[in-house]
Structure 1
Amino acid sequence: MNPSRTFVMAKNVFQEVIRDRILYIIGFYAIILAVGNRAIFEFAATTQDKIFLDFGLAGMNIIGLIVVVFIGTALVNKEIEKRTILMLIAKPISRSEFITSKYLGLSGVLAVLIAAMTAIYLVFLQLGKIPYPTTTILIAVLFLFLQLTLISAVAITLGVFTSSLIATPLTFAVYLMGNITQDLVALGHLSQNPGVERITQGLYLILPNLSRLDLKNDAVYGLQAIPDPVTLIGNATYGLLYSFMLLAITIFIFLRREF
């Protein structure tokens, strides 16, 4: 794999997605915060600070997830449907470089979106004079980015496996189930059914444990302290390794596809 060629292709993916008016989403996020702030003040004046803190992070999460799922599942399929994949793989570009560049390009778009939405979020907090723990909020946002890049890898993997129409709901399903993997195991134990327990254990082992990358409630409500640095590094490493594993599987499958 040629790193410089991969990054050039990733830059092209980044520019292509940006040209698709993806940055309008940043303005949409600002409007949501403005409307949400007004509504929260009207209906929950006594607890508006905590609710708005949660609302801002949740909105960032949902918008990032929608962008990642709908774009990620179509990145490879779009090239196949338009037959541009034939020209790309005919050039001195390996299929591993092709998949890696798609992932890096989408991650770059995601980084810009998260950074811009975080800046807007902090401006609203300052203007509303809402007290917030700066360090923990920024750590939560960083782990939100890691979580969404992992979902990017899921979306690209499923996009290579099947059509975008099927890959989109499957990616949403992986996200939802990845946030409740520990609850699935507990549900299996409660069922006292060996078959159900094996299924839930299997899902726990296969699905990404996205709760390890979710620090929103800890940052906003302080239900428990932000994990210590060793745990944070371990969780971040888990997310990155899971993403790399998915990309390796995707490349392996893509190498064997005929066009």
Structure 2
Amino acid sequence: MTAEVTVEDLGDRLIVTNRNAAQRNPLSEEFYRKLGAAVEAANKEHRIGAVVLTGEGNFFCSGGNLNMLKERSALSFEGRQNKIDELQNLIRAIRGCRKPLIAAVEGGAAGAGVSLALACDFLVASKEAQFTLAYVKAGLTPDGGVTSALLQALPRALVNEMCLLATPISTERLYSLGAVNVACEQGEAMTEALALADRLVAGPIQTIGDIKALLTDAFELTDDQQLDHERDAIARALVAPEGQEGINAFLSKRRPNFRELEIK
């Protein structure tokens, strides 16, 4: 049987591909398990500088399967919570990962597929792609952290359209509002995502992880707390191998070589 989710280890990055194009790459137990393992591996191994997430064929991810959701209605409230937490905990892991994740979206994303795309640190999407939250049409509410992610990235009026009216929103509209990093031609999402990964893995991976943590914490901390976190982070960075290499390279007018450093 062909795996529905593959993880390619290219040495300095991982590529996770949902391979169920016939059903527009829905969520599955295998998807949760393999993406979760990839995020964990990226966290542990310094050599991995980025994770690229994509879907096979012409659609990124169609989210949850309604037949599967209907079966869950027979569970207790706690049982339903536990099943939904499979997605919630995956989103937490993506947000908490010290390595950047890049979503490469062809065709579009729906439901929790939108949640996954927005949970990533970079979003690359083909210009014809549509992002749709149709929960309301099934009498359901959104999950996967999408409500907070949307409100952090977009005007409230547009979020209302997406969540309350299930209005599909185009890549180009999201790009114009700064919610998409790269709007590319059809079939070019993975190429553009890998180009972003090239830039990330050439950089100071430990430092990038520290910066991502600062950006994540900024939504939860007070301004004074964030100032303290920034102070502590740069105080550590000044004497860390990457900081030393970066400073010395700048003063010597040469390109820094972060990949050859020994990071403990």
Q: TM-score, normalised by structure 2?
A: 0.29
More strand per residue: 1 or 2? 2
- Of the two structures, which has the highest relative contact order with CA contacts closer than 8 Å and spacing of 6 or more? 1
The TM-score with structure 1 as length reference comes to 0.29
